[in-house]
Structure 1
């Protein structure tokens, strides 16, 4: 009976350690994603403001259309690049948060 209690305590401690490692990884990953989103938002706002200033200073309709087209093109390219980067960060987060559990999942008698 004492041996079983010791095993249960060890299992509980091991599970707590794994949960803490996973939580730390998730915390760091979410923080990195939040920083990227904040940086992108700031950059996007600054670019939008600069484009608006250029647009208000345009002397001709052709120049205004050119400024607006350049802004939309650059905004789209920047958004696609940022979405790709955020997607990679989420994929890395999923991989890293799974790592502590790889050893336990490999020991499970599923399908055996």
Structure 2
């Protein structure tokens, strides 16, 4: 009976270690994602402000529309690129958070 208790205790410790490792990984990844989003928002705001200044300083309506169109194109491309990057970061997060459990799930299948 003592042997079973020790096995259960070890299993509980192992499970806690895996959960903590996974949580650690998730915390670091979420911090990186938050930093990436903050950087993108700052960059986007700065580019938007510069675009408004450029549009306002244009001498003709045609040049203003051209500047606005260029900004929208650049902003859209930047947005798509950023969402792709964030998608990859979330995908990596899920893979890394799962890694501690791979060994345990492999043992259960046997």
Q: TM-score range by the shorter chain?
A: over 0.9
> What is the RMSD of the two structures over their aligned residues, measured on CA atoms?
0.8
Match of 1:68 in 2: 68
Q: Corresponding residue for 1:83?
A: 83
Tell me the residue number matched to 2:33: 33
TM-score computed with the length of structure 1 as normaliser: 0.96
Question: Which residue in the other structure is 2:93 paired with?
Answer: 93
Deviations along 1:15-36, one digit per CA (max 9) or x if unpaired, are 0100010000000110010010
In the TM superposition, structure 1's runs of 4+ consecutive aligned residues that sit over 2 Å from their partners are none
Structure 2 portions without partners, runs of 5+: none
TM-score normalised according to structure 2 size? 0.98
For this pair of structures, how many residues does the alignment match? 110
* Structure 1 unmatched ranges of 5 or more: none
